[in-house]
Amino acid sequence: MDTLVAALPDYLLFNRDTTLQFTGGLFWIFFGLVLAIDACLYKKSAWRHAFLMAASLFFYYKTSGLFFLLLLFTVTTDFFIARRIAASANKSRRLSWLILSLVLDFGLLFYFKYAYFFTESANELFGTQYHVFNWLAHWGNSFFSGDYFTVSKIILPAGISFYTFQTVSYTIEVYRGKVEPVKRLTDYGFYVSFFPQLLAGPIMRATDFLPQLYKPYSLTKHQAGLGIFWILNGLLKKTLLADYLAANFINRVFDNPSLYSGFENLFALFGYSLQVYADFSGYSDIATGVALLMGIHLVQNFNSPYKARDVTDFWRRWHISLSAWLREYIYIPLGGNRRGSAGTWVAIAIIGGFIVMLSRSWAVLAVLSILCAFIVLMSWLIPAVRQWLHTNLNLLITMLVGGLWHGPSWNFIIWGALNGAGLVIHKTWRMICPWKNVHNGLRHAAGIAVTFTFITFTRLWFRTGTGTTWDDFDAAHDIAAEFSKGQAMIDQIFLRMDWSVAPAVMSAFAPVFALFAAGMAIHWLPQSWKRRYRHRFASLPVWAILLAVMTTVFLVYQVQSANPHPFIYFQF
């Protein structure tokens, strides 16, 4: 007992080795305690929300240390700003408060996520030699009279992109009059910091989450069974599928693509498509299950995306909460597919600035300026060009913003641009396709195959722009190295493809190939089948559900490596 008490402070203090990850036992001890206390408070909403906000802040502290103060600052400022917006009758004053909120939220996001990028790019463009100095950390140390924050580098707080988008959606919806501002800071803090989806979504818009705060808590046995199913499903996706494929094949090839044949590079690329889906949707499944056990329904974030028949269908199925956010707060305000707007050209200028800084060349600025002037002239002279711009320009901008949201890298720019181009090409093809009214199994299967292949090859740029270890989270992207690594993989696939090695590779890595095939087969099962076995699981007797839990826990710990892989989207 004395040993347990002596060790307790280590588990209460921030330590990267004891973070509260879904795949670790410490999280489930934490969740069990939270669930037990929540069961005593569920009839008293004010106390319940205050407790869950405090528990969520502790969860974030265990994940990101003193960055929980940054989260608390964002919660507090946006709470009071939203109340000022709602209380102001003057439209210009309401807009001023909204702009202040957006500047604070996006200012912090840009500071932590893009400081290295802007500093390094400015040094190249202007011949300066500025060094990154963490002014927020410096001011924090002065305020607290100690060396609590590192001033020599800027560390990216986990989940900042996700909770920033949630706070922005709340302020905008209050400004639009679609949401009444919450009355208690703890209610708003609970919404922003709710720990199951805090680090990697789904991104809950205020209109989806806040009404649930004031409904009576209810949890039937069937709902509890569904919650447990989603948790087990997510754990198996993450550990048995995503992490196993990554550790035993994918990471090796991506680390040194030139050492492997074109066939191995190709399979690693398709394997990564399954890995990133299993990893990210696995997190969403666990978050959904944990939230459901607490009486909160999260929005669906994935809907079997590799069943998509075209690129448009894919983006309705993949990371649904982010796609919906980008559509609601960027694509539609810019004018959608009806028209361009002043915001369209402002967005083009901002994205152009990013591209210039990425290239670190004034020549690129000159080329972009000439290109924009040419397009504007053509759209003025030729109505068809103008219509094309109105239909597609805002869509391309939205996808480029989605790419930049992931990080300041050429690879993310390329990834976003490729997906934007895919959407534009599909929309154009749909208008002229001679078989658009033909519906049969062969055309459906061909659409799925083409879409999956296209999405998989765009993942090459996503993967080589992404770090997946804790050490990578603190560092700026090495853009040249990332780009060359992607190019090396393309060279292997298209210039050094050797199908003759396929039998030997498949034999040597038989478990990996079998697991990939099983994962894809389950993914492609009809939705009605999946719905049926989910509800049958939820209807099982308690002893059978407990047996499934113990079996899953056993499997997870059998396949889990000594150093568990963080969820890929934690770095965004």
Residues 203 and 225 in one domain: no
The percentage of the chain sitting over the pLDDT mark of 70, rounded to a whole number, equals 86
For the ranges 23-32, 183-192, 349-358, 421-430, the lowest mean pLDDT is seen at 349-358
In this predicted structure, the answer to whether residue 5 has a pLDDT above a threshold of 50 is no
Total count of domains within the chain: 2
Question: Catalytic residue at 406?
Answer: yes
Residues 223 and 212 in one domain: no
Distance of CA 557 to the CA centre of its chain: 26
CB of 225 within 8 A of CB of 540?
Answer: yes
The predicted pLDDT at position 4 comes to: 43
Contacts of 435 (CB under 8 A, 6+ apart): 443
Categorise residue 153: left if φ over 0, alpha if ψ from -120 to 50, beta otherwise: beta
The predicted pLDDT at position 179 comes to: 87
Residues 104 and 162 in one domain: yes
Can you give the residue range of the structural domain that contains 116? 19-217
Verdict on whether the full-model pTM lies above 0.85 = yes
Residue whose structure tokens are 């989910």: 534
Between 562 and 90, the more confident residue is 90
Mean pLDDT of 320-342: 83
Peptide bond into 408 cis (omega under 30): no
The predicted pLDDT at position 277 comes to: 94
Residues 23 and 157 in one domain: yes
Q: Which SS3 state, helix, strand or coil, does residue 284 take?
A: helix
Mean pLDDT of 256-274: 91
The percentage of the chain sitting over the pLDDT mark of 90, rounded to a whole number, equals 35
How far apart (Å, rounded) are the C-alpha atoms in residues 219 and 213? 14
Residue whose structure tokens are 């994935």: 302
How far apart (Å, rounded) are the C-alpha atoms in residues 330 and 412? 18
Give the side-chain half-sphere CA count within 13 A for 254. Answer: 27
For residue 268, give both structure tokens. 């690693």
- Give domain status of residue 244, yes or no: yes
**pLDDT per residue over 66-79, tens digit each?**
888 899 999 999 99
Between 480 and 204, the more confident residue is 204
Residues 40 and 77 in one domain: yes
In this predicted structure, the answer to whether residue 22 has a pLDDT above a threshold of 80 is yes
Mean pLDDT of 492-504: 87
In this predicted structure, the answer to whether residue 484 has a pLDDT above a threshold of 70 is no
Residues 37 and 117 in one domain: yes
Residues 164 and 237 in one domain: no
Residue 1's pLDDT band (cuts 50, 70, 90): very low
Residues 45 and 143 in one domain: yes
C-alpha distance from residue 280 to each of 30, 103, 126, 201, 242 (Å) = 22, 29, 40, 9, 9
| Given 406, 477, 523, 565, the catalytic residue | 406
**pLDDT per residue over 174-205, tens digit each?**
999 888 899 899 999 999 999 999 888 799 98
Mean pLDDT of 393-422: 83
Residues 95 and 187 in one domain: yes
Residues 29 and 135 in one domain: yes
- Give domain status of residue 355, yes or no: no
Domain finish residue from 163, 188, 217: 217
The predicted pLDDT at position 116 comes to: 77
What Rg do the C-alpha atoms of the chain give, in angstroms? 25
Mean pLDDT of 450-462: 90
Residue 62's pLDDT band (cuts 50, 70, 90): confident
For the ranges 206-220, 256-270, 312-326, the lowest mean pLDDT is seen at 206-220
Residue 468's pLDDT band (cuts 50, 70, 90): very low
